[in-house]
């Protein structure tokens, strides 16, 4: 019965949206066949005449707004404008009512009302009267936060675009909510905003915001053993909201028989009150790949330090500039790659590089983690300055777009991801440094292939007997990746904001614009050499840590590509 009532309302709306103002349901009869297996439904209705719009007028209390401006919104709205002589549509009237109500609310008239009233004429026309009552302009008395046990009140207030004492604006309140969601400190869809009227006055409201915090730190630990790498010990600490201050800290330490690395970074997103951020970083790495079976044999020792500053451009765009000094010492190993030997012979093995980077970002995602709507783009250009040991440029573009899936709810979405990178040498440097190569494969790249194994393979030096006839992953100076995902909810889980399940199609590879003739897997950028995979994956956040698994079926791969059907990653959050 409830479904039938909904269908009858849809039928009535269908006719009234097409000018049939006098449409009327006369009767609805439901009967069953004698065997009670079928149902007969008989609907009688009267269409009436089709009406067109004859006149449009705005009436009522407009506050300090001009009635001609409001009328102009009605007749010139890009999507729902109403023109004289067009067929009457009740749906358009409803949309115009909503638009004008929002417009008035954004101008401080929070309690304004708008009603579109059609007046039928005998000549088959309709006069539209929009009755507007703005009421008093409303101001925000106080903004209150609840539920932020860890996060400091000041951290939340600096994200607010609606200010205390200012006139209330629906757009600014909604924008403030989106900025709070993008912090990543709160569970998905857990921020509730209420705007109750202040008791005893008719021109003030409070903005009450309730949040539910989620873990913002992560501790990762690795203890293991590799046949060719020996004992592995690693640890990391990440916290994006230190003591509720909004500052972030990351410390990573890793040790094995082939690599030792340390990385420290700190970011203050509000180094200045107007939103300029400052980041500091120090890092050290000593890696000897000679003992590994799955990568080209060489060793590097590098360390460096740098700083970055970010500048807001509006609410969702930023410009970031960074600089750092980096020392790198390269040593080729036994069974080394011919490409590495040639590079060291031509350019040397010790380099002091001064790098600068400019980055533009635009982030309109509805959530930092597990987004379902919006988009994000990031364009970066990195350059080693003249006077550095090596001169090279590196440009990257990363983008994410989320679209609704048909008429499904917000838990369903299409996700389109792309990742493009290009590097080149300039000045006195003739070849792009191999230790700056792009690498693809694995989570966040092209699933179905082992991490960082796609692309050109190394060639063995001519004076040694190689153990690896197919070479080893070497990377290249061009990266092309793309992914199409269908985000869907799992029916047996309750807290869907902490889980992301997808069906995916991944594509990508690493290419090189300066390939040796006999180099295996080395191609100039071309569609036919892209590697593909299809599969399903799931990621979820628990108190035990973030976990991700995927099952993938790779295709269009070559014999030397290192494929994997099942992948698993785990860390610990708190």
The mean per-residue pLDDT over the stretch 270-290 comes to 87
Report phi then psi at 346, rounded to 5.
Answer: -85, -40
Is the pLDDT at 407 greater than 80? The verdict is: no
Q: How confident is the model at residue 573 (pLDDT cuts 50, 70, 90)?
A: very low
Is the pLDDT at 309 greater than 90? The verdict is: yes
Tokens of 529: 């050499």
- Residue 104 CB burial class (10 angstroms; 0-12, 13-18, ≥19): buried
- 196-203 contacts at long range (C-beta below 8 A, 24 or more positions apart): 197/111, 198/141, 202/111, 202/135, 202/136, 203/136, 203/137, 203/138, 203/139
More confident residue, 565 or 223: 565
Residues 6+ apart with CB under 8 A from 35: none
Q: How confident is the model at residue 74 (pLDDT cuts 50, 70, 90)?
A: confident
Q: How confident is the model at residue 465 (pLDDT cuts 50, 70, 90)?
A: very low
CA distance 90 to 92: 5
The mean per-residue pLDDT over the stretch 224-232 comes to 53
Q: How confident is the model at residue 221 (pLDDT cuts 50, 70, 90)?
A: low
Q: What pLDDT is attached to residue 158?
A: 92
Per-residue pLDDT tens over the stretch 347-387: 888 899 999 999 999 998 887 778 888 999 999 999 999 99
Among candidate residues 126, 110, 106, the one with its CA nearest the CA of residue 118: 126
- 247-256 contacts at long range (C-beta below 8 A, 24 or more positions apart): 254/222, 256/226, 256/229, 256/230, 256/231, 256/232
All structural domains of the chain: 2-46 (3.10.20.310), 52-133 (3.10.20.310), 139-210 (3.10.20.310), 217-573 (2.40.160.50)
The mean per-residue pLDDT over the stretch 195-211 comes to 92
Per-residue pLDDT tens over the stretch 155-202: 999 999 999 999 999 889 999 998 998 888 888 778 999 999 999 888
Q: What pLDDT is attached to residue 226?
A: 47
CA distance 283 to 265: 8
The mean per-residue pLDDT over the stretch 52-76 comes to 87
Q: How confident is the model at residue 228 (pLDDT cuts 50, 70, 90)?
A: very low
Per-residue pLDDT tens over the stretch 532-544: 999 999 988 765 4
Tokens of 216: 């913002």
Give yes or no for a contact between 142 and 168, defined as CB atoms under 8 angstroms apart. Answer: no
Is the pLDDT at 225 greater than 60? The verdict is: no
Report phi then psi at 21, rounded to 5.
Answer: -65, -35
CA distance 12 to 276: 55
CA distance 398 to 422: 12
Q: How confident is the model at residue 472 (pLDDT cuts 50, 70, 90)?
A: confident
Q: Is the whole model's pTM more than 0.85, yes or no? A: no
Give yes or no for a contact between 482 and 417, defined as CB atoms under 8 angstroms apart. Answer: yes
CA distance 282 to 277: 17
- DSSP annotation of 243 reads G
Q: What pLDDT is attached to residue 115?
A: 92
Is the pLDDT at 235 greater than 60? The verdict is: yes
Is the pLDDT at 307 greater than 90? The verdict is: yes
- 370-378 contacts at long range (C-beta below 8 A, 24 or more positions apart): 370/188, 370/497, 370/498, 370/499, 370/500, 370/539, 371/400, 371/402, 372/402, 372/410, 372/411, 372/412, 372/413, 372/487, 373/402, 373/404, 373/410, 373/413, 374/402, 375/399, 375/400, 375/401, 375/402, 376/400
- Residue 533 CB burial class (10 angstroms; 0-12, 13-18, ≥19): buried
Lowest mean pLDDT among 228-237, 319-328, 500-509: 228-237
Per-residue pLDDT tens over the stretch 2-13: 778 888 888 888
The mean per-residue pLDDT over the stretch 436-462 comes to 85
The mean per-residue pLDDT over the stretch 325-332 comes to 85
Among candidate residues 292, 310, 296, 154, the one with its CA nearest the CA of residue 226: 292
Q: What pLDDT is attached to residue 294?
A: 47
CA distance 56 to 453: 67
- DSSP annotation of 498 reads G
Is the pLDDT at 280 greater than 70? The verdict is: yes
Arithmetic mean of pLDDT over the chain: 85
C-alpha pair distances (Å), 283 with each of 286, 301, 457, 541: 11, 11, 28, 29
Tokens of 458: 């190394």
Give yes or no for a contact between 165 and 140, defined as CB atoms under 8 angstroms apart. Answer: yes
């Amino acid at each position: 019965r409830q479904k039938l009532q909904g269908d009858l309302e849809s039928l009535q709306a269908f006719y009234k949206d097409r000018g049939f103002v006098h449409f009327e349901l006369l009767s609805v009869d439901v009967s069953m066949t004698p065997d009670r297996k079928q149902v007969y439904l008989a609907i009688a209705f009267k269409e009436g005449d089709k009406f067109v719009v004859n006149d449009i007028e705005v009436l009522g209390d407009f506050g300090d707004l001009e009635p001609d401006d409001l009328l102009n919104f009605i007749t010139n709205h890009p999507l729902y404008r109403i023109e004289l002589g067009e067929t009457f549509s009740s749906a358009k009237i409803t949309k115009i009512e909503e638009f004008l109500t929002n417009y008035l609310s954004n101008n401080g008239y929070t309690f304004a009302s708008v009603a579109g009233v059609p007046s039928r004429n005998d000549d088959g026309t309709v006069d539209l009267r929009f009755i507007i009552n703005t009421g008093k302009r409303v101001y925000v008395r106080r903004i209150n936060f609840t539920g932020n046990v860890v996060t400091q009140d000041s951290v939340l207030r600096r994200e607010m675009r609606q200010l205390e004492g200012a006139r209330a604006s629906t757009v600014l309140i909604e924008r403030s909510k989106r900025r709070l969601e993008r912090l990543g400190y709160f569970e998905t869809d857990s921020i509730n905003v209420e705007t109750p009227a202040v008791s005893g006055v008719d021109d003030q409201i409070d903005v009450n915001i309730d949040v539910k915090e989620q873990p913002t730190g992560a501790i990762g630990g690795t203890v293991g053993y590799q046949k060719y790498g020996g004992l592995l010990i690693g640890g990391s600490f990440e916290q994006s909201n230190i003591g509720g201050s909004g500052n972030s800290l990351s410390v990573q330490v890793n040790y094995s028989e082939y690599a030792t690395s340390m990385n420290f970074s700190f970011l203050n997103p509000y180094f200045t009150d107007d939103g300029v951020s400052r980041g500091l970083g120090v890092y050290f790495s000593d890696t000897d790949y000679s003992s590994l079976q799955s990568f080209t044999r060489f060793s590097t020792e590098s360390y460096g330090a740098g700083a970055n500053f970010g500048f807001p451009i509006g609410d969702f765009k930023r410009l970031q500039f960074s600089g750092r000094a980096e020392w790198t010492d390269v040593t080729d190993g036994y069974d080394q790659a011919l490409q590495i030997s040639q590079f060291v012979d031509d350019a040397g093995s010790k380099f002091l590089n001064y790098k600068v980077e400019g980055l533009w970002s635009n982030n309109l995602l509805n959530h930092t983690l597990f987004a379902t709507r919006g988009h994000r783009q990031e364009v970066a250009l990195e350059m080693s300055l003249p006077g550095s040991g090596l001169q090279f440029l590196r440009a990257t573009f990363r983008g994410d777009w989320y679209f609704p899936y048909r008429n499904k709810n917000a838990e369903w979405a299409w996700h389109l991801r792309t990742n493009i990178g290009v590097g080149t040498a300039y000045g006195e440097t003739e070849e792009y440094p191999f230790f700056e190569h792009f690498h693809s494969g694995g989570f966040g790249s092209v699933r179905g292939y082992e991490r960082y194994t796609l692309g050109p393979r190394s060639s063995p030096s001519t004076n040694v007997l190689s153990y690896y006839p197919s070479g080893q992953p070497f990377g290249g100076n061009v990266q092309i990746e793309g992914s199409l995902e269908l985000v869907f909810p799992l029916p047996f889980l309750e807290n869907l904001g902490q889980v992301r399940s997808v069906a995916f199609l991944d594509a990508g590879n690493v290419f090189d614009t300066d390939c040796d003739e006999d180099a295996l897997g080395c191609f100039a950028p071309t569609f036919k050499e892209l590697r593909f995979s299809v599969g399903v994956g799931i990621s979820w956040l628990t108190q035990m840590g973030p976990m991700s698994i995927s099952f993938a079926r790779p295709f269009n791969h070559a014999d030397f590509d290192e494929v994997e059907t099942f992948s698993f990653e785990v860390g610990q959050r708190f």
